[in-house]
A = this chain, B = another copy of it.
Amino acid sequence: MHDVDTIDIAILKTLQREGRISNAALAERVGLSASACSRRLDHLEKSGVIKGYHARLAHKALDYRMIAIVNISLSGQFAKTLAEFEAAVKLCPNVLVCYLMSGEYDYTLRIAARDLEDYERIHRDWLSALPHVVKINSSFALREVIDRPNVGLG
């Protein structure tokens, strides 16, 4: 029914990079008429291939100037242990990213804070309260060198 063909791929790649491009410009970019492009885009959205559109904001401009990378080890890898930790970490609004990891630590977190004082509060109120934690290692980002939304894009 809805095969994702070459033109769809071109549409998706364009929208991945320029999510707010006009339908007219998008149509020209992929070599379709505006009406055909509009209908394909409608299909891609309604079929769930495109899950949403989002503005990417500068953390700095929103007064979250500090990024911390926090590595955490738990007391075990039982499913219940992981689930309880993850449920708790999801509640902290300052956690931007959290991955279950291979290697020395079990989880890697990326945390946004306004300043050092704010980070101290987050550490005290949130990180210290996470269950099953046996080791925490925090590092701070001194400067953002690269921040790309997707592979191969500016």
Contact = CB atoms under 8 A, between A and B. Distances in A.
Contacts of A151: 59, 62-64, 93-94, 96, 112
A97 B90 CA distance: 22
B102 A140 contact: yes
A18 B54 CA distance: 6
Interface residues of A, number: 65
A101 B53 contact: no
B139 A101 contact: yes
Contacts of A153: 93
A57 B62 contact: no
A98 B146 contact: yes
B93 A139 contact: no
A153 to B, nearest CB: 8
A4 B81 CA distance: 42
